[in-house]
Structure 1
Amino acid sequence: MNTKDKILEKSIELFNNQGVHNVGVRDVARALEMSPGNVSYHFPKKEDLILALMEKMSEGNNFCLEAYGQKEASLLSFIALYEGLFTNQFAYRGLLIGNTEFEDVLRNRYAYKKTYEKRVHQLQNILIGLRNKGLLHLSEPDQKMFLAFLTFFGRSWIHESFIYQQNDSAKETIQHYINLLKWQLSLIATEEGKLQLAQLA
Structure 2
Amino acid sequence: MKTRDRILKASLQLFNEQGERNVTTNHIAAHLGISPGNLYYHFRNKADIIYSLFVQYRGLVDRYLKVPRNRTLTVEDKMFYLESVFDGLWHYRFFHRDLEYLLTMDERLRHDYREFTFHCLGEIRAVLKGLQEAGILRPHSEQEHEAMALNVWLVVTNWMAFLKTASADGGSDGNTQRELKQGIYQVLTLEMPYLTEAYYERVTAIREQYRPDLSVMEGGSRAEEPDLSV
TM range, normalised to the smaller chain? 0.7 to 0.9
Give TM-score, length-normalised by structure 2: 0.77
TM-superposition CA deviations, 1:59-100 (whole Å, max 9, x none): 11112113x537741233112201101111111111221256
Whether contact under 8 Å (1:76, 1:196) holds in the other structure is: no
Aligned: 1:116 with 2:117:
yes
Aligned length: 199
SS of alignment partner, residue 65 of structure 2:
helix
Task: Spell out, residue by residue over 1:1-42, the C-alpha distance to the aligned partner (whole angstroms, 9 max, x if none).
Answer: 221111111101111111111111101001111101111111
For 1:169, the aligned partner's letter is T
Give the structure 1 partner of residue 147 of structure 2.
Answer: 145
1:94 equivalent in structure 2: 94
Which position in structure 2 is the counterpart of 1:158?
Answer: 160
The residue number in structure 2 matching 1:6 is 6
C-alpha displacement of 1:182: 2.2
Within 2, Cα distance between the matches of 1:168 and 1:102? 21
Shift of 1:147: 1.4
Specify the code of the residue in structure 2 equivalent to 1:113.
R
Contact 1:21 1:99 in 2 (8 A): no
Mapping for residues 37-48 of structure 1, pairs under 5 Å: 37-48=37-48
Q: 1:102 to 1:168 in 2, by over 3 A?
A: closer
On the 8 A contact 2:155/2:186 being kept in 1, the answer is no
Residue type of the partner of 2:135?
G
What's the C-alpha RMSD, in Å, of the aligned pairs?
2.2
Q: Does the CA-based 8 Å contact 1:135-1:189 persist in structure 2?
A: yes
Does the aligned pair in 2 maintain the 1:106–1:112 contact within 8 Å? Answer: no
| Residue 138 of structure 1, CA deviation | 4.0
Alignment of 1:61-80 (within 5 A): 61-66=61-66, 69=68, 72-80=72-80
Shift, 1:104, TM fit? 3.3
One-letter code aligned to 1:173: E
Measure, in 2, the Cα distance between the counterparts of 1:105 and 1:78: 35
Q: Secondary structure at the match of 1:31?
A: helix
Aligned to 1:24: 24
Deviation at 1:105, TM superposition (A): 5.5
Q: What is the DSSP-based 3-state SS (H/G/I as helix, E as strand, rest coil) of the residue aligned with 1:111?
A: helix
Higher RCO by CA contacts (8 Å cutoff, separation 6 or greater): 1
* Partner SS for 1:69: coil
Distance 2:139 2:107 in 1: 34
Query: Unaligned 5+ residue runs, structure 1?
Result: none
Matched, 1:179 2:178: no
What is aligned with 1:58?
Answer: 58
Bigger fraction of residues in helix:
1
CA distance in 1, matches of 2:106, 2:192: 34
